[in-house]
Every structure is written in C-alpha cells, then in structure tokens.
Structure 1
Amino acid sequence: MKELKHLNKYFRKYWFKLVIGILITITARVFQLVMPSYVAKIIGVVEKYLAAEVTETVARQQLLEYIGIIIGAALLSGFFTFLMRQTIINVSRYIEYDLKNEVFDHYQRLSLNFYKTNRTGDLMNRISEDVTQVRMYAGPAIMYGMQTLTLFVCLIPLMFIKAPTISFYALTPLPVLSVLIYWISRIIHKRSTRVQVFLSDLSTFAQETFSGISVIKAYVMEPQINQQAQALALEGKTKSMDLAKVNAWFFPLMILLIGVSNIFVIYIGGVQYLNGEIESIGTIAEFILYVNMLTWPVAIVGWLTSVVQRAEVSQKRINEFLKQAPDIQNHSDVETPVRGKITFDNVGFIYPDTGIEALKDVSFEISPGETLTILGKTGSGKSTILELIPRLYDVSSGEIRIDDRPVEELNLTSLREAIGAVPQDAFLFSDTIENNIRFGKEDATLDEIREVAKMAVVDTNIEGFSKGYQTVLGERGITLSGGQKQRVSIARALIKDPTIYLFDDCLSAVDTETEEAILSNLKKASQGKTTVIVSHRISSAINADKVIVLENGRIIQAGNHDELLAQEGYYKELYINQLSEKES
C-alpha cells in the first residue's frame, strides 16, 4: 500500500471528521451486539415458562422488556450508522475533490512536451476512473473496514467468554478464509492493473474517434473503426471477466465457511446442551446470530481487499504523473514586468520528443514596439521561435533575453501574462463566442468584445448567427469555418491588450481582402507593442520594422521589406510570385 501513502496528507487534513466517524462506527456496532444476547434471554424466558419456573405475567413482562431493548438498540444502531455515512463517506468526497484538483493543477503545470508524449484519453482516465477507485478506498473501505474490525474485536472475545468450546469450533474456518483471501488478492492486483490500463486505452480510442469523426466519415472508415471498437470491447470483456471470475470466489467461499461454522455451532452446542455444559438452547441461537453477524464482515474482507488493490493500482498510475516535474520551472517568485525587448543570441533548439533540430544559431533583436515578420518554408523553424518566447520550451543552446534579462530569470506568470498569442491551429472552447473572446480578459464587457471582433473583421459573421455572440460552439470550435476560428482567436488576443503579440500564420484561412483589413487593424492595435508575425505571405512583412527568412532552422536573410526586395533570394522570389498571383 506504499502508493496510497500519498493520501495521508488528506487524511491529516480531515482527521477530526474521520475520528468522529470512527467513534460513531464503533458505537453503531456496539449497539448491534445487543440483539443476540437478548434473543438468548428471550429463549431462556420461554424455557423457564415452559418449565413452570415463572408465571405467564412475569414471562410476558420480561419478553416485552427484552424486545423493547432489542428494538431500541436497533434504532440507535441505525441512527449511528446514518451518522457514520455522513462523516466518513463525506470525507471521501472531499478527498476526491482535492485529489482531482491536485491532478488537474499538476496537469496544467506540466510542460508542452508532456502532452506530446501522453494520450488525452489516458490523462482523462487517470483524473476520473482512477480517482474514483481511490475514493472507494478513502471512504467506503475505511468505513466497512472499521465496522469489520470493531465486530471482530468486540464479538470474538465476547463469544469466548460465553462459550469457549463453541467459539473455537465456530471460528475455525476463518484462518482458512484468510489464507484464501491473501492468495486471491495477489491475483486481483495483477488483473486490476490490466483492467485500469485497458480503460485508458479505451478512453483514448473513444476520444480520438469522436474528435476525428469528420475524417472518419470523409474516408468512409466507419466499418474499420467499428471493427477496432469491437476488438477493444472484446478485449475489455475478457480482462473484466478475468477479474470478475476471481472476485466471484469470495461470496461462495464466505457462504461455505459460514455454513460450516453454523454446523459446528449447532452440533457442538447441541452436544454441550445434552451434556449439561450450557444451560439454555438460547446460547446456541445466540451463537448462530453471532456467526451470521460475522457473515458480512467476512464477505467485506474480500471486498475490501479488492477495493484496496484497485485503489493501489489507480493511485500508482496517478502518482506516475504527479511525480513528473515540469520541464519548465519558474525560477522567480516575484513579479517581473515585461517592456517588450526580445533578443535571440545564437539560439539552437532540438525537440526532445523527436530529436529534430528546429533552430541553429538564430540571432536577432526586437526593440519594444517594433514588429518582426518571420518568413520561410514549412518546417523551417518559424513556429518554434514563437514557442520559445513564452518558454513553452527552453532552448537547447544559446540564450533568449527579454528586456536584456535571460528569459529563465523572469517570473513565468509575468512573462506569459505579457503575451497575447494566436496559434497556427486556432483552438476554441465548447462555449459561447462571447466567452471564447473573453478568455483573453476575464472582466471584458460585451462592448469591448464587439470592438475587438470588429478589429478582427469577424463581428459581421458573428451577428449573422441566430444567437449572435451567445452562439455555443462545438468541440474545438467546429461550428465555425477555419477563417472564422482564426479571427475569433485574433480577437481573443487583442482584448488581452498585452505587451507582446505573437501571431503564428493566423491569417492563412482568410482571403486577401480580409487579410489586408485585419493587418491594417493590427497595425493600429499594436502601436507601442512588440509584435512577432509568422507568415507565408509577403503582405505581413511590408510594414514590418524587421523581417527574417528562415531555412532549415537558420536565418538566410534579414532586413526590412525594401532591403530584402533589393536582394536576390527567397524574399524577392516570394514577393514576385505572390504579386503575380494577386494580379492574375
């Protein structure tokens, strides 16, 4: 159970409620123990009446008294059982809440490379299914475990005090059951691990299928996907059945062993009664009730074992991610305001997941308020530069400085708060358009949202929807066209009003006329702001203060529009080609 030690901090946090819950559990079980002894007394009264040792009136009076005690004890036991669930089970929900928040918070702090090497379905399964399994350990397992322990601690000594010989024979099957449980538990642990890993694979398959449904339909891949789903379902059934078959041994074994105990009680008790070693048949009835009171605890031992094994497996899977430290560490606890000067000094970068060298000895400098346009062929390293500025990755060699300070020395939150980024693949959330734009500024008014939407030339499109800005988008913004998604994403960056703008080929899906309108608006909005634009179009570079051209991760040309146009090379060829396309 070493992996479950991670939960100790939560147990310490809620220790008072747990202690109260445990005390209530003990109280509820103690009241439950009242019934068997008074059942024996009731049978004793009946025996005395039949033997004419007491009158009918006395017998009735004693029977009513004992029955009243049994009913009262049952009511009190039920009341304390209710309180028990209201304390211990509630604590398990609090722990579930805290653990999910801890996992989710850690997910957000992990670096971009983590998400390139781990599947979304697996991440989702660990924060949902695995946390649920852990909750079962933190609540129900503790509650039923305490019930079982209390009954064993209180009941077994009581049985030996009243009738040692009957108790010895009645409890003989329990050690056998303990050995069987230990053996079965080892198998459960292995099979539970397989089931949990499979559930992650299943979640990943479902998530990828539903996210890529348009591609599946376009390529008529439904039959193949159905076959894969059937194969996964069959695999899941096999693994779950393997686990269920082992779990299925618990109750038959429990019934068998409890039955053997009852036979021992009846036989040994009957022999002792005939020999005069016990005074009343009520003792035999009392012990049958005791043995059957142990039925649920004995069954629970198996269930508890299964729950703990599953929780151990799940917590181990959770801990695997919680133990992963983010590649990008925040080395400053104080705020570091950003003015906007950016310097790349012989920067080299190799992607850790693929080993691809994206940048080689890249050097340039942008003063606060200047605009830099980066051009180059696909795969030349343009987007990598934009990922390095907000420290989504750390450089492999060289140095990046912001305001003449190494970027690693800046407070990470301050750095990213100063940046408004529009990624190449515009990502929108399944929310209203208004809230998607407001993502850039939490307290933005609707007027402010409309203003930036106009600057991004998307206001007219939005107003054309039946619900306007209250239109709820599908997953990843599927409701909108590619160009509309890009423009909403631009509006989201504009409303943030950052110190640094990063635009990653964010106008590729719009027509030339719309692009020119947006670029004109961006020029006004970015006055006094440092702006870096990655593009395939010369139009983005014409008014830029600086332009660099990348090829295979190296800068092959640098200057402004006029300077580069005067040189033979990639920039001039691109300008002539795009000018010809525009005129045609």
Structure 2
Amino acid sequence: MKNLISLNKYFWKYRLRLGLGVIFIFLSNLFAVMSPEVVRYAIDYTISQVKFASLLNGFALSGSFGSTLTKSIVAFSVIIFAFALLRGLFLFFMRQTLIVMSRHIEFDQKNELYNHYQQLDQSFYKENNTGDLMSRITEDVSRVRNYTGPAIMYIINTVILFFMVAYTMYRVNGELTLYALAPLPVLAVCIFFVNSIIERRSEAIQSQLSALTTAAQETYSGIRVIKAYVQEQMAEKYFNDESIEYKKRQLKLARVESFFFPTIFMLVGFSTLSVVFVGGSKVMNGQITPGNIAEFFMYINMLTWPIASMGWVMALIQRASASQKRLDEFLSIQTKIINPNTNKHLIKGGVEFHNVSFTYTNTGITALNNISFNLKVGEKMAVIGRTGAGKTTIANLFTRVFDVSEGSILLDGIDIRSINLHELREQVGVVPQDVLLFSDTVTNNISFGNDVVDEKLAVEFATRASVDEEILRLQHGYDTMVGERGVMLSGGQKQRISIARALIKNPSVLVLDDCLSAVDARTEHKILEQFNEVLKEKTAIVITHRIFTLIQFNKIIVLDKGKIAEEGTHDQLLSRKGLYYQLFELQQSEEKN
C-alpha cells in the first residue's frame, strides 16, 4: 500500500476533478438513501389506508377513497422515479470526473516513464529486457489506473454510502441497525488478512508477465534466426513453459479470490437474516412498521454490492501496489550520463583523447587502456584492429554513450563531460556498427536527425552514400516503408541509409564505426570516393577492421587488446612491418583470392 503514496502528486494535480467527483458521489448517494424513506412512507400509508378503507366498505365514500389511494401511489412512484433519475445523472457526472481523471493520470504516467526511459544510459538497457520495459509501461500502468479510477471511486462511494445508510438506519431503530451491521467487523478482519496474500501473489504475477512478454518479444525479433535453424518447436516450448508458470500464478491468486468473494456474500446474507428475524419481532411488538422492514432491506441491498466489491477493490489496490512498486524501481534509477548544462556550444572539431581507459561495469572487461591521440580540425584518422580490440568503445565514449573510467576526452580543448549533451550529440555524427532503421519511409529514416524532412536533401545524401539507385528501384521509392528495424532492406542498403542519415546532419565531427562491412567491393569503392569530398573539411574518425587506401588519413592507430599497438601514417606503418603490415598483407591476399 505504501507504494501508492507516490501517486499523490497526480491526485493533487487533478484535485479539482477529484473534489467534484466526491461531491457527485455524495449527491448520488443522497438521492439513493432518500428513496427507501419514500418507499417506507408509501408502504405504511398504503397499509393504513387499506385498513381504513375496509372500515368504509359499503359506504358511498369507499369509491372516491380508492381513487385517492391510487393517486397517492402514483405520486410516490413519480417521486421515486425522480430520485432515481437524479441519482443516475450524478453517477454519470461522478464517472466523468473520477474515471476521466484516472485516464489523465494514466497518460501522465506513461509519458513520465517513457521520458525517463529515454534519459537512462546504455548500461540500463544492457541490464534490462525490452519485454520487461514494455510490460511496465503497458500492463503495470494499466493496473495502477484501475486504482486511480475504479478503486478510488468505489472506496469513496462505499465510505460515503455506508455512513449515510448507517445514520439513516440508526434514526429508525438503533438495535436493528447493530444487528444489520454486525457482520462488518468480521469482514474487515478477512480483508486485512487476505490483502497481504493478494499483494504477494500479484507481485509474482506481474514479474512472470514481464518474463512472458520478454519471451514473446525475443521470438518476434529473432523469427528469421529461429526459422533458419528450424527451432520453432523449441521457441514454442519456451513460450509455453513461461505461459504455464504465468497460469499457475494466476490460479493461485484466483483460489484466494474464490474464497474471499463468497465469504463476503455470506456475511451480507447473515445481515439480511438478522433484519428478518429481529425486525419481524419488532413489527409484531409495534416498535417499528412494516415499511421500516422494507426500508432496511433496501438499505442492506444498497450496501451489498459496495461491500461485496470491497474484495475486488482490495485486489485492484494490491495489484496496483505491486505494479507501482515495479514502476518506482525504474523511476528511481538515475542516469550516470549527466547533462552538465543547457548552454549553446559550437564544436569546431579538434579532438584529443588523453590517457583514456574504460572498463564495462557489468562484465568487468577493460576495453581501452591508456589511449591517447589528438586530431586537429579537419583531420582524418583510422582506427584499425581485430575484433574485440576496443574500436567500437571509442565511438561510444565519444558521444557519451558511456563515460570514461579514467582520463578525459577533449573537443576543442574542452572536456566533453562539461559540454551540453544535446549539443554534443547533435554536432557529432555517428554511423554505428549495428544499424537500426525505424518502421517508417526511407525519406524519414534518412532525415531522422533533422527537425525538418526535406526530400530533395534526402535524395542528395542518399546519392553521396551510393544508395540512391537502389532506393528508386523499391516499390514506392523514397516513400517505401522499410519495416521494423529495416527488415525490408538488405544489410548493405541499411548501412548506406545509416551513412546518409549521419551525413545529412552536417556534423562537425563524423565517427564511422565499421560502416561498410556489409557492402561489396565495388560499392565500397564508390562510397570511399564520395567520402573524400564529403569529409573534406570535417574531422573524421573511421573505425574499421579493413584498411582503406582510398582515403588519405592524417593518422592511423592500430588497437590490440585495448591498447595502441602502432601509430602513424599508412606508409610509416607498412615500413615497420608490424601488426598493421600483417593486417594489410592478409587483406591483399584475400582480395587476390
């Protein structure tokens, strides 16, 4: 329950709707409580008038008396109908305020969580599954809405109705009221003990739902690999096992609820029996009227559903509490990549790595060890090395996907940790090793880094990335939807669209991380020729496992096991006949073969 305290800020934000909702609940219950009183008057009046009419039997007045009684009954019916109509009207207003309030809170929560997701650093996404993230922003937020809407509404309604009914019943007969309400303490004890069980089992259900969502998400994302290795049955078994576990946890909760709800109705039944026996004897003793018995029955019926629903409401609250706990777990996580300020900053392109070391916290692997180099504005550098040498880590550190463990990275002599993070990433273009395209048109994917979509500009940079001709051969050209993660395109096409997406930003510094690994030699040659023109006045770091001779690099560093093994120009490194020379000879041999 304490987890739900964090929702108070939303209740305060929508306090006007909440306040109006409480007023409408009070008014709707006021007319509901008044109706049994009218029924009591109608019954007692009718009984007394029928007795009186029997005395007039055979007299001339008996006919007109019957007509008067009929008119009175019609008048009572009209009053009851009017009360019911007014109650229904205020019930409508009640739902329009409280339920609509819960939808606003749901909207705010989803946006808060989504925005928080975007602020978190890469280490968070390495430690958490996409399915779990999706489950929290959908299922958990939905369960919390059931608390901020229906649960709150029913609790307020039950409390107000209970006190209004109890007061009205007590005015009629205090002793009979005590008999009618006697089962309620037993009900309170049941709710107290059952709540803790429901909360524990609700948490277990939500946790398993996340695992089930993750299993489904991984299957959908990797469906091509699953089919390629003929592992459909394995994937089905894995999902089935997770589904069975989810079903077991749901059934455990259902068993508790199946005991809880009948117990509530049984206690309400005891209340009705008390009114029948005790109230009947009091009618015979003349302490109350038959109309009072009818009135009490109506009041008990009024309380039956609100009281019976408390079991369902408490289940909603416990599920919401478990879900809010999961939401708060993520909302309490703070990003390690802090934006130091919001100042505008123009990056010219001078780059310096000063004794940079980096260790991945989740694995303990040291990817870079004491790396130092510098580039003047407009210079080009190649970073070459075998797989696992630490090349991609340089790209990640440069845009502060991670922060350095030791040392510093300077841009124009300023530590990047003191530069506005938005400005840094906006003015540094990165073509990542793992290309991701969004399920959108080719034009929108190329223009992703720009505020305005310009189709002519998209065509221009697609041409520079040597992918224009292939885009035009697609069914709808630049308006073709590329599918989830660019599934409709080849690996080479995705890489070149990613290059165009980085170039269209017109960045001051460009980092290309093994961006030509999926293209053929002819296309690679065309792209490299374009690079000489595109990168002419830009600072560029080209990370690759291949050696490009078509680009005139001012400097080449060779990484080996996270350290700089060699540094120099192409000719200098060949003359030393070290690791660079070995890689070059191996590449030449592969190209000849």
Specify the TM-score bucket, using the shorter chain as the normaliser.
Answer: over 0.9
Alignment of 1:444 with 2:464, yes or no, is: no
Partner of 1:49: 49
- Paired with 1:560 and 1:441, the residues of 2 have a C-alpha distance of 35
Is 355-364 or 49-58 further displaced after alignment?
Answer: 49-58
Partner of 2:80: 70
- Paired with 1:275 and 1:84, the residues of 2 have a C-alpha distance of 43
1:358 to 364, 367, 379: 367
- Paired with 2:553 and 2:82, the residues of 1 have a C-alpha distance of 87
How far residue 540 of structure 1 moved from its aligned partner, in angstroms, is 6.0
Deviations 1:12-69 (A, max 9, x none): 1111111111111111111111211111111112201221169323322321221111
Deviations 1:81-123 (A, max 9, x none): 1111111111111111111111011111101011001111111
**CA gap 1:572/1:542 in 2 versus in 1, 3 angstroms:** farther
1:182 to 175, 183, 192: 192
1:145 to 130, 149, 155: 155
Counterpart secondary structure, 1:566:
helix
Deviations 1:487-537 (A, max 9, x none): 111111111111111110010000111111111212211222111111111
Alignment of 1:275 with 2:285, yes or no, is: yes
Partner of 1:500: 509
**CA gap 1:262/1:550 in 2 versus in 1, 3 angstroms:** same
- Paired with 1:502 and 1:147, the residues of 2 have a C-alpha distance of 61
Show the 5 A alignment for 1:289-368: 289-368=298-377
Show the 5 A alignment for 1:390-409: 390-409=399-418
Alignment of 1:200 with 2:220, yes or no, is: no
Deviations 1:432-479 (A, max 9, x none): 112111112131311111111111111111111111112112221111
Counterpart secondary structure, 1:400:
strand
Is 4-13 or 58-67 further displaced after alignment?
Answer: 58-67
2:123 to 113, 129, 148: 113
Alignment of 1:582 with 2:578, yes or no, is: no
Partner of 1:246: 256
- Paired with 2:442 and 2:580, the residues of 1 have a C-alpha distance of 37
Partner AA of 2:13 in structure 1: K
Alignment of 1:260 with 2:270, yes or no, is: yes
Alignment of 1:514 with 2:495, yes or no, is: no
- Paired with 1:541 and 1:243, the residues of 2 have a C-alpha distance of 67
Counterpart secondary structure, 1:60:
helix
Alignment of 1:461 with 2:467, yes or no, is: no
How far residue 333 of structure 1 moved from its aligned partner, in angstroms, is 2.9
How far residue 386 of structure 1 moved from its aligned partner, in angstroms, is 0.6
How far residue 542 of structure 1 moved from its aligned partner, in angstroms, is 4.4
Deviations 1:208-233 (A, max 9, x none): 11111111111111112222222112
How far residue 296 of structure 1 moved from its aligned partner, in angstroms, is 1.1
Partner AA of 1:5 in structure 2: I
Counterpart secondary structure, 1:373:
strand
Partner of 1:3: 3
Identity across matched positions, percent: 45
Counterpart secondary structure, 2:548:
helix
- Paired with 2:532 and 2:30, the residues of 1 have a C-alpha distance of 78
Partner AA of 1:233 in structure 2: S
Deviations 1:277-314 (A, max 9, x none): 11x21110110110110011101211121111111110
- Which consecutive residues of structure 1, in runs of 5 or more, have no partner in the other structure? none
Contact map agreement 2:341 2:420 (CA 8 A) in 1: yes
Aligned positions, number: 583
Give the TM-score normalised by the residue count of structure 2: 0.96
Counterpart secondary structure, 1:236:
helix
- Paired with 2:279 and 2:407, the residues of 1 have a C-alpha distance of 87
- Paired with 1:302 and 1:393, the residues of 2 have a C-alpha distance of 48
Partner of 1:166: 176
- Paired with 1:307 and 1:272, the residues of 2 have a C-alpha distance of 41
Partner of 1:485: 494
- Paired with 2:196 and 2:582, the residues of 1 have a C-alpha distance of 70
Contact map agreement 2:158 2:306 (CA 8 A) in 1: yes
Alignment of 1:98 with 2:112, yes or no, is: no
Contact map agreement 1:44 1:281 (CA 8 A) in 2: yes
Counterpart secondary structure, 2:296:
helix
Partner AA of 2:338 in structure 1: Q
Contact map agreement 1:533 1:540 (CA 8 A) in 2: no
- Paired with 1:290 and 1:444, the residues of 2 have a C-alpha distance of 65
Contact map agreement 1:516 1:539 (CA 8 A) in 2: no
Deviations 1:154-197 (A, max 9, x none): 11111111111111111111111111111111110010010000
How far residue 389 of structure 1 moved from its aligned partner, in angstroms, is 0.6
- Paired with 2:247 and 2:586, the residues of 1 have a C-alpha distance of 59
Give the TM-score normalised by the residue count of structure 1: 0.98
Partner of 2:485: 476
**CA gap 1:375/1:291 in 2 versus in 1, 3 angstroms:** same
- Which consecutive residues of structure 2, in runs of 5 or more, have no partner in the other structure? 57-64
How far residue 395 of structure 1 moved from its aligned partner, in angstroms, is 0.7
Counterpart secondary structure, 1:515:
helix
Partner of 1:387: 396
Partner AA of 1:262 in structure 2: T
Counterpart secondary structure, 2:576:
coil
Counterpart secondary structure, 2:21:
helix
- Paired with 1:579 and 1:431, the residues of 2 have a C-alpha distance of 40
Counterpart secondary structure, 1:532:
strand
**CA gap 1:400/1:391 in 2 versus in 1, 3 angstroms:** same
- Paired with 2:532 and 2:5, the residues of 1 have a C-alpha distance of 56
Deviations 1:397-456 (A, max 9, x none): 111111111111111111111111111011111111121111121313111111111111
Counterpart secondary structure, 2:371:
strand
Partner AA of 1:364 in structure 2: F
- Paired with 2:570 and 2:301, the residues of 1 have a C-alpha distance of 90
- Paired with 1:473 and 1:243, the residues of 2 have a C-alpha distance of 44
Alignment of 1:548 with 2:548, yes or no, is: no
Contact map agreement 1:45 1:63 (CA 8 A) in 2: no
- Paired with 2:78 and 2:101, the residues of 1 have a C-alpha distance of 35
- Paired with 1:192 and 1:559, the residues of 2 have a C-alpha distance of 62
